[in-house]
Amino acid sequence: MSENKYLSIYNDLLSKIEKGIFKPGMKIPSENQLVEQYETSRETIRKALNLLSEHGYIQKIKGKGSIVLDVRKFDFPISGLISFKELAQKLGKPSRTIVEQLEMVKPDEVLKKHLHVTAREDIWKVVRVREIEGERIILDKDFFNKKFVPFLSKDICARSIYEYLEKELQLKISFAKKEFFVEECTEEDRMYLNLKQYTHVVVVRNYVYLDDASLFQYTESRHRLDKFRFVDFARRIHLH
Amino acid sequence: MSENKYLSIYNDLLSKIEKGIFKPGMKIPSENQLVEQYETSRETIRKALNLLSEHGYIQKIKGKGSIVLDVRKFDFPISGLISFKELAQKLGKPSRTIVEQLEMVKPDEVLKKHLHVTAREDIWKVVRVREIEGERIILDKDFFNKKFVPFLSKDICARSIYEYLEKELQLKISFAKKEFFVEECTEEDRMYLNLKQYTHVVVVRNYVYLDDASLFQYTESRHRLDKFRFVDFARRIHLH
DNA sequence: CACACAAACTTGTATATACAAGTTTGTGTG
DNA sequence: CACACAAACTTGTATATACAAGTTTGTGTG
């Protein structure tokens, strides 16, 4: 609790939207009403509302008010920057993580480029399979710079690496760049996944950065074609 | 010009980043220095900087300053909410739009669902092929509610529909929900595109909304597998 | 009744101030 | 010299005020 006023108002309003107390199409209380409800200033309310707007939960209309949107329904993996565990919890489907590899490696040319490291640095390599409703759908290959993550265990990898990084190691994960494209599947894909007849996989490359803009993780997430789905929300900037 | 102070500062700083006057890894001037340069208040500067940060151009670090990121390099289509014409200009590759169909239709079941319209309403249907470097790569199927777009011509479709909608019709395009997935290619895909041996296409569904949260356009964009690439930037929210 | 228009609402922008909480710099003590 | 620590910077949060610019409501005039 405490800590941050506008974030806690954001969370409170968000949970009211998710619980359906504020329904899609409905107006939420005006800024001035919220000022009274939360006993705070209008600027603080506006910070919370602007966050909701950026994330696609409400639409603010000048002179009228803010209405709840319903475009924000989740489908499949990775909307925004959340971990597989957080996602699995939201989806509510039976899912399981299998740790196939966990080892310390020296970077090859590809990794040196992706992780911005020299040949002498140590890298954690984690290979995990995500099983959803009994099928091996996603192959996750994570690479962490040992400088930031001195220790890892199979147990941690099976639960949630992000939880460990943020709660135990106190790393502040801040932002990520993602790339999506389609690639022919490799021997490794065929070995670890239930690929059926598909000849291609959807590849999601993830570059994850800390608070101070240092790159600490590179992830390649390889999805079976038919199970891949990504949902995005975007606002248009008008320049005038 | 004029109009909006913090947006014009945002644009000015953005162009300095894109031109390389502020280089990746470099610190930009502090908020107080920018206050003096632009002769404005700190809150106005902060609005501009927060926009840059949300869009992935800078990283703000408490106590230190703001540094320029280089994660924002464009790759292929549709990062954020921009039109094909705007994108083609940024990419600088020879590209061309071919209008294959332009007609007024009544919605079928699928369209009724996607566009939230009744069977009696009129819908503009536009089918366009995007040719890049001589190859027919993307099939765009756009559907506009006639209520919002009374008139369309082949000429407008070949240039930029968005430019027409925003400049001529004064529609205020505000936000969009996108869905990505992979699908088996159809007869239509094979007819209009150079599909080579590929058996699947990447489908991008786009629901585009106006200022007042009314849905006015549904688009299905079908991309040849090997040419599809999407780049995304995401920030993690920390709740505390 | 029809209509104009003021009044009361809504959100948007700009400014100013105060203090909290990080990081850097430099002074001065031992 | 090494070190502690204050001073001067940085960004982050919270509050208050003023006015602009939309929309809705309701009053009152003709």
- CATH number (domain holding residue A52): 1.10.10.10
pLDDT, average across residues A223-232: 86
Same domain, B100 and B17: no
Same domain, B110 and B49: no
Same domain, A58 and A96: no
- For residue B161, give both structure tokens: 């529909």
Same domain, A217 and A189: yes
- The CATH number given to whatever domain includes residue B156 is 3.40.1410.10
Q: Is the pLDDT of residue B75 over 70?
A: no
Q: What is the tens place of the pLDDT at every residue in A91-123? A: 677 788 999 999 999 999 999 989 989 999 999
SS3 B208: strand
Q: What is the tens place of the pLDDT at every residue in A157-194? A: 998 888 888 888 888 888 988 888 899 999 999 999 99
pLDDT, average across residues B79-83: 48
Measured N-to-C along each axis, helices B42-54 and B31-38 cross at an angle, to the nearest 10 degrees, of 120
Q: Is the pLDDT of residue A83 over 60?
A: no
Domain that holds residue B168: 84-227
Cα distances from B209 to residues A56, A62, A145, B116, in angstroms, run 12, 16, 42, 12
pLDDT at residue number A90:
65
Contact list, A44 vs chain B (CB under 8 Å): none
Same domain, A156 and A90: yes
pLDDT, mean over chain A: 88
Q: Which of residues 6-25 of A touch strand D (CB under 7 A)?
A: 6-7
Are B231 and A54 within 8 A, CB to CB?
no
Give A196 CA → C11 C1' in Å: 53
A79 within some domain: no
Same domain, A96 and A173: yes
Q: Is the pLDDT of residue A75 over 80?
A: no
Q: Is the pLDDT of residue B81 over 50?
A: no
pTM of the model: 0.87
In one letter, which amino acid is B8? S
Q: Which residue has the higher pLDDT, A230 or B127?
A: B127
Give B58 CA → D15 C1' in Å: 28
Same domain, B101 and B8: no
Give A64 CA → C7 C1' in Å: 16
In one letter, which amino acid is B89? Q
Q: Quote the percentage of chain A above a pLDDT of 70.
A: 90
Same domain, A102 and A148: yes
B223 within some domain: yes
Same domain, B207 and B98: yes
Rounded Cα distance, A231 and A180, in Å: 12
Neighbours of A50 (CB within 10 A): 16
Cα distances from A128 to residues A134, A230, B47, B109, B121, in angstroms, run 15, 20, 41, 41, 50
Rounded Cα distance, A6 and A14, in Å: 12
Of B80, B202, B235, the CB nearest to A234: B80
Same domain, A62 and A98: no
A202 within some domain: yes
Same domain, B43 and B92: no
A28 within some domain: yes
